[in-house]
A and B are shown apart, each in its own frame.
Chain A
Amino acid sequence: MLHKNLRHQVEEKLLTSYESMYRIAYTYVKNADDALDIVQDSAYKAIKNAKSIKQEEYIETWIYKIVINCAIDFLKHSKKEMATESLEELHHIGTTDHYMDFDTIRALDILNEKERAVVVLRFFEEKKLDEIAAVLGMNGNTVKSTLYRSLQKLKIELEKGEMPYEGYCGNQ
């Protein structure tokens, strides 16, 4: 009877968290169509795997992890496809969105998979450290150090982008 209950809880969570799911997916694929596909696929996987949930209080974060995994998978597959295409074409991929400036979001690309997941969950979705640790299967201290390291990397990356405009202000 627990299984059914879990599935129901997952469904409810999906219906309240889909905007976050979409945004997370978007930070990876940077275009609306692919992000929509990823969200739909994640919703499907979440329902299918609902009975494997061990900590009910973490359902939302668990869903985000599925989104992250789907997005990473998607990128891996599209890379394989791209390898067969010409270089010119390659430059256009991932830039279909024209109505927003996501230079800052693009900075996330310098992070590795783990770092990126931690930043998205902690910083964008404001999940607690121990919850992130539990869902990503890391220990609390590793999450902390990963987060710290990631923010340093991002800071450097973001400052690079701003140099031409704010260079004269000095460093602090």
Chain B
Amino acid sequence: MRGIAEISKMKQDYETIPVPLELKQRVKEGIEQAKKEEDEEEGKIMKGKRISKRAALGLKITGGAAAALVALTLISNLNAPAARAMENIPLLGSIVKVVTFRTFESSEKEMSAKVKIPEVEVRDSAGKKNDAATKKINDAVDQYTQKIIDQYKADVEAVNGEGKEEVSVDYQVVTDNARLYSLKIDTVIALNTSGITVKIYHIDKETGKMVQLKDMFKEGTKYLSVLTEEIKNQMRQRMAEDDQEMYFIDDEDMPETNWKGLTEDANFYINKKGNLVFAFDKYEAAPGYMGTCEFEIPQELIKDMVKEEYFVK
């Protein structure tokens, strides 16, 4: 097998390619440049987030605030049967509200976590609590937030509390229209850089059921590919219009880093205009400095595919 012997010679030649002295330094320069750029980008994002949200809200919300929320729910619930009696037609729609929340707080030297876990209540139009629907959404939220808490605890344990980490979880009602109630959970996990994750839960007020992306569209429609194309077009347009905008798309150099397209578990909500909006995690489709990003889908594009009842203002 002479061929093999020659190829072995080739390997020998490869292994004896002399390595210049400055090589290590050059590698370090590449690493440092990338790290510096990334950290600068992270720094900007973190500062923005902090001041706008958390400081304004105040971190500790006491029992008083929670009680006020409960009272609010009661009043609107009391109104419901009265309204029905007056018009004598069955009122569509459940009443969905965040009635209270629990917090998980922990801090060890430079590690801390503040996790707010909202508790939702679903009542039917008569004001009667829908236990099954209430339990379902709360269980989903609990499971999701518990995972974050568990990960934090595991991190603390792994480094004996000597690490640097900051976890904060907050929520926001992003849709509350005639038909849908959507609750968004925002998670910011800061180590040296920070990850921002979004998760949105939806309740159909008419059925009390939790709604997913596929429920918003008529069966058999190719909404995922249509939406993916639209979002890609928006990314390209934004990049063309603004040098500062950058998305993981059309990179021939590293195709594995490109955004893979929309999936069933994509996070979305219906905005005040009644338009479908997709919310992306940080890093999901763009470099860290872009933070989280959103894409609003024009109604015209999907009007033949959607179940119109969900697309209300």
Which residues 17-66 of B sit at the A interface, judged by CB distance below 8 A?
Answer: 17-20, 22-24, 26-31, 33-35, 37-38
Q: Taking the complex as formed, is A87 at the interface, i.e. its CB lies under 8 A from any CB of chain B? A: no
Classify chain A's interface size: 35 or more
Is A93 interfacial (CB-CB < 8 Å)?
no
Given known A-B contacts A11-B31, A23-B14, A39-B27, A4 and B193 have beta carbons under 8 A apart: yes
B24 touches A18 (CB 8 A): yes
CB < 8 Å neighbour of A1 from B13, B195, B253, B257: B195
Interface string of A1-15 (1 = CB under 8 A from B): 111110100010011
CA distance A7 to B22 in the complex (A): 23
Inter-chain contact A52/B256, CB cutoff 8 Å: yes
Residues of A contacting B24 in the complex (Cβ-Cβ under 8 angstroms): 15, 18
Q: Is the interface of B mostly helix, strand, loop or mixed?
A: helix
Interface stretch of the complex, out of B1-9, B137-145, B177-185, B265-273: B1-9
Interface of A is mostly: helix
A51 within 8 A of B: yes
Residue numbers in A under 8 Å from B151 (CB-CB): 1
Q: Which B residues touch A152, using CB under 8 A?
A: 3
Does A105 lie at the interface of the complex (its beta carbon under 8 Å from any beta carbon of B)? yes
B16 interface residue per 8 A CB criterion: yes
Contacts of A11 in B (CB 8 A): 31, 35
From known contacts A23-B19, A36-B20, infer whether A102 and B13 are also in contact, taking CB-CB under 8 Å.
yes
For the complex with contacts A4-B193, A43-B28, 6 further pairs of A-B residues with Cβ separation under 8 Å are A21-B27, A23-B17, A54-B256, A100-B18, A101-B13, A159-B2
B: residues with CB less than 8 A from A are: 2-4, 6-7, 9-11, 13-20, 22-24, 26-31, 33-35, 37-38, 151, 155, 165, 189, 191-193, 195, 248, 253-257, 283, 287-288
